Amino acid sequence: MADPLKVRDARDVETAVRWAIAQSKTLEIVGRGSKRALGRPAQWDATLDLSALNGVTLYEPEELVLTAQAGTPLREIESLVDRSNQELAFEPMDYGPLLGMPHGRSSIGGAIVTNLSGPRRIKAGAARDHFLGFSGVSGRGETFKSGGRVVKNVTGYDLCKLMAGSWGTLAALTEITIKVLPRAETEMTLVVQGLVDAGAAKAMAAAMGSPCDVSGAAHLPARVAAQLLPGLGAGKAATVFRIEGVEPSVVHRARVLSELMKSYGALAMVEPQRSRHLWRAIRDVTPFGADGPVGTYPVWRISTAPTEGAELARLISEDIEAEFIFDWAGGLIWAVLAPSDDAGEAIVRAATTICGGHAMLVRAPAAIRAMVPVFAPEEGALAALTARVKHGFDPQGALNPGRMWAGI
Amino acid sequence: MVTMPKPDAAVLARREAIVKALRAIVPGEGVIASEREMKPYESDGLTAYRQMPMVVVLPSTTGQVSAVLKYCHDNGIKVVPRGAGTSLSGGALPLGDGVLLGMAKFNRIHSIDYANRVAVVGPGVTNLAVSTAVAHAGFYYAPDPSSQIACTIGGNVAENSGGVHCLKYGMTTNNVLGCELVLINGEILRFGGKHLDSAGYDLLGIITGSEGLLGVVTEITVRLLKKPETARAVLVGFYSSEDAGECVSKIIGAGIIPGGMEMMDKPAIHAVEEFVHAGYPLDVEALLIVELDGPGAEVNHLIERIDRIAKQCRATSCKVSNSEEERLLFWAGRKAAFPAVGRISPDYYCMDGTIPRAKLPLVLARMREMSAKYELGVANVFHAGDGNLHPLILYDANKPGELERCEAFGAEILRLCVEVGGVLTGEHGVGVEKRDLMPVMFTEEDLKQQQRLKCAFDDKGLLNPGKVFPTLHRCAELGRMHVHHGQTAFPDLPRF
């Protein structure tokens, strides 16, 4: 068991990292620990616990900006901005259900460095697109900052982008500033029933290519559809489209989209409250949840061009028993596979090689995650550049070494 | 004036051999070495700075870019990449001992993929050309910098360009999905593609806005958006900038994110109205243009709400566009703001800071004081939705001392932007212009960490040196680990 170090403030983070450098120790950086089962399992000498860096230090709804210490629970931030009818538009998913962890445990820092997003990614972007500025401590034990508290800022390199999705391998972030946006007044979901994967991809492309401003486009297999939309066309796959906004606009766009979709299959409309529950379940991939029927099976998260999603899934199913949820109009595939020695790694990587995109193994026993690459492997000049970037921030490999790839 | 790195005499002495070697890589007219032909490249949109390059190279293939960069890397020759040369911060200002690498020949749209809503384009394609190419299918490319007729997508990536619609639709970084990049050592890399998420570190995100200091982009995958069904604009006048600022805050507070929200102050309104006769009210201190886009039902609904908010904020006039011509006329004034100011003053200097919106009245008041102090007029146009300020300082370059006074005035404005919680540049970039102001916003450690990232891409510091960073450090020096004495023990931290 690694030695836990509980910091009290940002200053302590600097002290801790300097200590690790001087002692040639490695640190596991933990906000609230909700995603510790994600990524490569590695041995770290000590755990840097940032949960005491807690609290929103600035929230100005009319400026659309919020600053919080990195360990602040995401859920607290979400309920705070909700009181001003705002939200984090990037719709950060909760990995709790998939990983068998308590729900709603993520910190804002964890959400940012893993670049979380949700179904609204197709319209509003991911954490990276809402991340305005930060303070943090590099693997050199030096406190530095980047960005600011305004949306429009091109002063210096955009290090926020680099930190989002760096999984704590470049710096321990201590303070985070994000953009917040007004929450939609209402929403509705249009369901198209009974489409096969390839047909759903066409329907989703047509919807995304319409002026209906769809903020969620997903395709659910029959078993998942029966679970998430009980009483609605049982036994059939469901392709679902979310429309959000002010009431008259939602009504109008739902009508236009229905007209566009009626040639694809039978239609149904889901009212606001059920729609919200549906998209939360899609966001958190609860049908593949750890407490469900496929709860112990490996899960992959595959990002590809939307039109390639169906073919990619077909290639995987040729070689292994699998079930898929397609989000992002087909561009994000959650794949649950029958258990195997490599969690289906060879099959999944072969499919992404053919169809383009990349895959991350998000759920598998630690022993398998230690054995097969969890993140898409990098090679050649790209791998060398990644290593040089890491070295520039963390030359001794003190921060989360091995979390993404061996040696990073 | 900012001083650029001294030309290296040893490199200049080898000029003939260098030109010959480059001609072997890029044949024919792709290498320009005569003074007369290089003249158009001596400056960019920041015309106060001029410098002839050592040689201009215009490659037309990724292979040529790679070979040119590798040659320069092997021989210690500096390289300045250039798109259309519309930078307002001197990002493409040549170096006397450097190669100016013009990317204009990469002007092909390679493919348009409506099903995935992306286009793959060369970096020399102009911003507007992308939208034009997909307009017939009802799509467009969202970032729309005011130079969009001329500026290139490659330059947009380098500068992370914005435009009047980025409050709702984001800047370049939110609208590109992939790129091909050539490093200074000649290596060719691909980041991203038609998918949304990055597989590893978000290197595309770091390239975007890196001002040509990290690599040369040779292909870009951009997102295409479906055109909104309709757009309408509202023109609202106010007796004070405080009222206008309050109106902007209330609109956003009401949960409305307009497609565009622009503000002009009195000097800008008068200059513009005289020039384009857009029907702007002349008896107001501040004018807002608020544009709503989307389905007609939504736009009409929101316009009613905005009308109510404007009245609550003591608007003196509120005019809604009733036709596409009228909407374009409202915008014509705003879009002509720079040339309009150009008519009332021999020269003007366009600044670009961002502030938290609530600080607008304070910043405008302080700017008026500065205007008196420096004895130079100033007109303001302002992307009100996102706090991006464009003060236009009026001066006459032919009057001794005015340019210097103007630059000092501009620097004081940008310092004020940082002081009130904003930043030095919202969309024009640091370049040469704001380079020496970087320490106002960043500590030495902040800047060194940024430069260490540069070292990961460009170990010899050959790409666009003299831009962005006020002090050039060698990578070896930046890489050295600082030993923090007294950190061997760890007594203070509670352990659980």
Over chain A (408 residues), the average pLDDT of each successive run of 10 is 84 96 96 95 94 97 96 98 97 97 96 98 98 98 97 96 98 98 97 97 97 97 95 89 96 97 97 97 98 97 98 98 98 98 98 98 96 97 98 97 96
Domain boundary among A183, A217, A243: A183
Positions of E strands within B114-175: 118-121, 139-140
Asked whether the predicted pLDDT for residue B482 surpasses 90, the reply is no
Q: Tell if the CB–CB gap between A395 and B481 is shorter than 8 Å.
A: yes
Vertex B275: Cα angle to B274 and B281 (nearest 5)? 45
Find chain B residues with C-beta within 8 A of A60's C-beta: 356, 358
Tokens of B219: 């292909």
The model scores a pTM over 0.90: yes
How far apart, in Å, are the Cα atoms of A146 and each of A132, B154, B209?
A: 9, 24, 13
| Whole-number pLDDT of residue A3 | 72
- Phi and psi torsions of A244, nearest 5°: -125, 155
Residue with tokens 């800008």: B268
Which residues of chain B are within 8 Å of residue A312 when distances are taken between CB atoms? none
Residues of A in contact with B173 (CB under 8 A): 129, 158, 161
Residue that terminates a domain, selected from A162, A183, A204: A183
Q: CA nearest B295 in A: which residue?
A: A249
Q: What is the residue range of A343's domain?
A: 287-371
Same domain for A223 and A262?
A: yes
Asked if the structure places residue A126 within a domain, the reply is yes
Residue of B179, B195, B425 to mutate, interface with A, max A Cβ within 10 Å: B195
- Name the residue facing A154 among B113, B425, B456 (closest C-beta): B425
CATH code, domain with A2: 3.30.465.10
Residue B50 and residue B492: Cα distance in Å, rounded?
56
- A122 Cβ under 8 Å from any chain B Cβ: yes
Cβ-contact A202, A292 below 8 angstroms: no
Q: How many structural domains does chain A have?
A: 3
Q: Which of A158, A375, A395 sits opposite B205 (nearest CB)?
A: A158
Looking at the complex, does the CB of residue A144 fall below 8 Å from at least one CB of chain B? yes
Is the CB of residue A2 less than 8 Å away from at least one CB of chain B? Answer: no
Distances (CA, A) of B342 to B338, B347, B360, B380, B393: 6, 6, 24, 13, 10
Asked if A271 and A155 sit in the same domain, the reply is no
Nearest CA in chain B to A15: B487
A341 assigned to some structural domain: yes
What residues have CB less than 8 Å from B215, skipping those under 6 apart?
B181, B182, B183, B184, B189, B207, B457, B458, B463
For A150, the closest of B422, B452, B496 (CB atoms) is: B422
Q: Are residues A163 and A87 in the same domain?
A: yes
Instruction: Name the closest residue on chain A to residue B444, using Cα atoms.
Output: A144
Question: What is the per-residue pLDDT across B115-164, written as a single tens digit (0 to 9) for each?
Answer: 999 999 999 999 999 999 999 999 999 999 989 999 999 999 999 999 88
Tokens standing for B121? 């384009």
Give the pair of three-digit tokens for residue A318.
């040729």
In a domain, A304, yes or no: yes
CATH number at residue A215: 3.30.70.2190
Model ipTM? Answer: 0.97
- Chain B interface, best mutation among A157, A362, A391, by max B CB count within 10 A: A157
Asked if A109 and A225 sit in the same domain, the reply is no
Count A/B contacts: CB-CB distance under 8 Å: 313
Chain A hits for B447, Cβ within 8 Å: 156
Domain boundary pick from A252, A284, A316 = A284
Among candidate residues A280, A239, A301, the one with its CA nearest the CA of residue A92: A280
Q: With respect to residue A378, please indicate whether it lies within any of the assigned structural domains.
A: no
Contact B449 A142 (CB under 8 A): yes
Does A57 share its domain with A159?
yes
Q: What percent of chain B has pLDDT over 70?
A: 97
Report if residue A402 sits inside a domain: no
Whether the CB-CB separation of A179 and A64 falls below 8 Å is answered with yes
Decide if A259 touches B, using CB distance below 8 A: no
Please, which pLDDT band fits residue B300 given cuts at 50, 70 and 90? Answer: very high
Q: Is the dihedral of CA A150, A151, A152, A155 positive or negative?
A: positive
Pair (A332, A223) in one structural domain: no
Return d(Cα A53, Cα A176) in angstroms, integer: 11
Is residue A112 located within the same domain as residue A218?
A: no
* Residues 6 or more apart whose Cβ sits within 8 Å of residue B226: A208, A209, A210, A211, B117, B138, B139
Averaged pLDDT, B159-170: 92
Sole residue written with tokens 């805050």: B249
Residue A39 lies in a domain: yes
Could you tell me if A103 and A195 lie in one domain? no
A270 and A297 housed in the same domain: no
Q: Quote the CA–CA distance of A375 and A388 in Å, as a whole number.
A: 18
pLDDT of residue B1: 79
**In terms of Cα–Cα distance, which of B138, B143, B135 is closest to A209?**
B138
Share of residues in chain B with pLDDT > 90 (%): 88
Name the residue among A156, A162, A305 with its Cβ closest to that of B205.
A162
CB contact under 8 A, A158 and B453: no
Instruction: Say whether B356 and A150 touch across the interface (CB within 8 A).
Output: yes
With CB atoms and an 8 Å threshold, state whether B205 touches A164.
Answer: yes
Instruction: State pLDDT tens for residues A69-89.
Output: 999 999 999 999 999 999 999
Q: Does A404 map to a domain?
A: no
pLDDT > 60? residue B486: no
Q: Between A5, A303, A306, which is nearest B493 by CB? A: A5
Residues A93 and A145 in one domain: yes
Q: Residues A25, A133: one domain?
A: yes
Residue A392 lies in a domain: no
Question: Which pLDDT does position B447 carry in this prediction?
Answer: 97
Q: Give A190 to chain B, closest Cα distance, Å.
A: 18
Residues with Cβ within 8 Å of B184's Cβ and at least 6 positions away in sequence, in order, are: B69, B72, B73, B79, B215, B457, B458, B460, B462, B463
Is B226 in Cβ contact with A63 (below 8 Å)? no
Answer whether A208 sits within 8 Å of B298, measured CB to CB.
no
- The CATH number that applies at residue A343 is 3.30.70.240
> Is the CB of A62 inside 8 Å of chain B's CB atoms?
yes
Q: Is B339 helix (H, G, I), strand (E, B) or coil?
A: helix
Average pLDDT over residues B359-379: 94
From chain A residues 81-120, the ones with a CB under 8 A of any chain B CB are 85-86, 115, 117
At residue B493 the predicted structure's pLDDT band, cuts being 50, 70 and 90, is low
* A33 and A112 fall within a common domain: yes
Please indicate whether, in this complex, the C-beta atoms of A303 and B295 are within 8 angstroms of each other. Answer: no
What is the DSSP track for B420-459? TT-BS-SSS--TTTTGGGHHHHS-HHHHHHHHHHHHHH-T
DSSP B480: S
Nearest CB among A85, A154, A155 relative to B255 is that of A85
Tokens of A191: 């369901």
Cβ-Cβ contacts under 8 Å, B198 against chain A: 115, 165
User: What tokens does A53 get?
Assistant: 């860096």
Distance, CA of A294 to CA of A304 (rounded, Å): 24
